[in-house]
A = this chain, B = another copy of it.
Amino acid sequence: MNVPSPINPPLRMLLGPGPSDVHPRVRAALALPTVGHLDPYYLRIMNELQQMLRQVFRTENSMTLAISGTGSAGMEATVVNLIEPGDAMLVCVNGVFGGRMADVAVRCGANVTRVERPWGEVFTTDDIKQALAKSKPKVVGIVMAETSTGAWQPIEEISRIVHEAGALLLVDAVTALGGVPVEVDAWQIDAIYSGTQKCLGCPPGLAPVSFSSQAMEAIGRRRTKVQSWYLDVSLLASYWGQERVYHHTAPINMTYALHEALRLVLEEGLDACFARHHRNHLALKAGLAAIGIDFAAQEGHQLPMLNAVTIPPGVDDKAVRKSLLERFGIEIGGGLGAYSGKVWRIGLMGHSSREANVLAVVAAIEQLLGEAGGTAATGVGVASVCQSLSSQIA
């Protein structure tokens, strides 16, 4: 037998588009002894998890639970349950994840209409009104925090016109949840999904979702079976609800981890958590501005937890990211799709959103750009302070 060495991961500062750093309390919860998926203790943990997810989603929706897959499984779960073959769906595309939602909807047999905006911009109600009138969709899908561009999409006004047109609103909150306000009930969101590995600060592996009663009624009126057995929310409801009918074996230890991650968020308080994400975003923005690095997303609509910034001209994208990782143990993300090679994505999510991390990443970037003879090293950033300090000591 050919047996590799035990896992011995390098220590990273995870400032990419997720996963983010995992709090030691969450890692400790992950390693607690496994119990059965029908053990009375586990059923209690499921109830507590739902109750905490409702607080974080700001909803009373009964059908609020964690899908046994990553954020993209949450996307698929919401789409496959709402869409039957031939249904019209309008998808707002201004980055990778809107495009992915359109792809998922096509695979469900939806007649998909795409409304597009350039990468980095957000949608206005005017953009969507015309398409609503024309395509008369059953469902409108939109990404609240577009992880590929760092654009922060307002939802409330769009929800109003979507409902006026008689459609259901489906929102991608993978990166948003826990980092900026997400008001499922107040904004009348009908279906929403997130991931655990962004602002909730838990390893990847589960996808929190919530369905409004209007969404559940629409699902109840389906003429066809949901195309995915694994993600069929009516079957999941029988396991998460009072009946406790076995569906699939739940990911017990991942549930422990998400339970602890949600406890951390609620202990801090949602508003304090949002304020922390906002504060560290402003600090990062100031630090990057000092070394001449600009943001890619539309001004006034920049996400606090996902900072997409323009790579200065002449700078070698991959070389800088490689050095950040190898010399400083700092992970940041490269650009996807249209932003490939043009943008860095600096995540300040969950437990990664800390002042010390902001200082470290700005200083490290300044250092590397200076070494490369780039345009960015101005000597006014935190790095110069750190360097002069370390030279005094040396």
With a CB–CB cut-off of 8 A, which chain B residues contact A164?
Answer: none
A262 — nearest CB in chain B belongs to which residue?
B3
From the candidates B1, B42, B72, name the one contacting A248 in the complex (CB within 8 A). B72
Q: How far is the CB of A32 from chain B (nearest CB, A)?
A: 5
* A interface residues, how many (CB within 8 angstroms): 83
B76 and A19: CB pair below 8 A?
Answer: no
Q: How far is the CB of A105 from chain B (nearest CB, A)?
A: 10
> Which A242-277 residues sit within 8 Å CB-CB of chain B?
246-254, 256-257, 259-260, 263, 266-267, 269-270
With a CB–CB cut-off of 8 A, which chain B residues contact A325?
Answer: 39-40
A15 — nearest CB in chain B belongs to which residue?
B36
A40 — nearest CB in chain B belongs to which residue?
B325
State the number of copies, please: 2
Question: Which of A22-30, A114-122, A211-219 lies at the interface?
Answer: A22-30
A252 to B21, CA, bound (A): 12
Given A70-B68, A250-B204, the answer on whether A9 and B30 have CB atoms closer than 8 Å is no
B249 and A18: CB pair below 8 A?
Answer: yes
A55 and B107: CB pair below 8 A?
Answer: no
B33 and A11: CB pair below 8 A?
Answer: yes
A100 — nearest CB in chain B belongs to which residue?
B229
A9 to B68, CA, bound (A): 20
A325 to B41, CA, bound (A): 11
From the candidates B9, B203, B246, name the one contacting A336 in the complex (CB within 8 A). B246
B33 and A22: CB pair below 8 A?
Answer: yes
Q: How far is the CB of A386 from chain B (nearest CB, A)?
A: 24
With a CB–CB cut-off of 8 A, which chain B residues contact A41?
Answer: 9-10
With a CB–CB cut-off of 8 A, which chain B residues contact A336?
Answer: 246
A256 to B205, CA, bound (A): 13
With a CB–CB cut-off of 8 A, which chain B residues contact A48?
Answer: 4
From the candidates B6, B27, B225, name the one contacting A106 in the complex (CB within 8 A). B225
With a CB–CB cut-off of 8 A, which chain B residues contact A263?
Answer: 3-4, 6
Given A229-B100, A251-B203, the answer on whether A7 and B260 have CB atoms closer than 8 Å is yes
> Which A184-214 residues sit within 8 Å CB-CB of chain B?
195, 197, 203-205
Given A70-B249, A230-B73, the answer on whether A29 and B16 have CB atoms closer than 8 Å is no
Q: How far is the CB of A378 from chain B (nearest CB, A)?
A: 29
With a CB–CB cut-off of 8 A, which chain B residues contact A1?
Answer: 55, 266-267, 269-270
Ordered nearest first, which 3 A-B pairs have the shortest CB separation? A31-B31, A205-B251, A72-B248
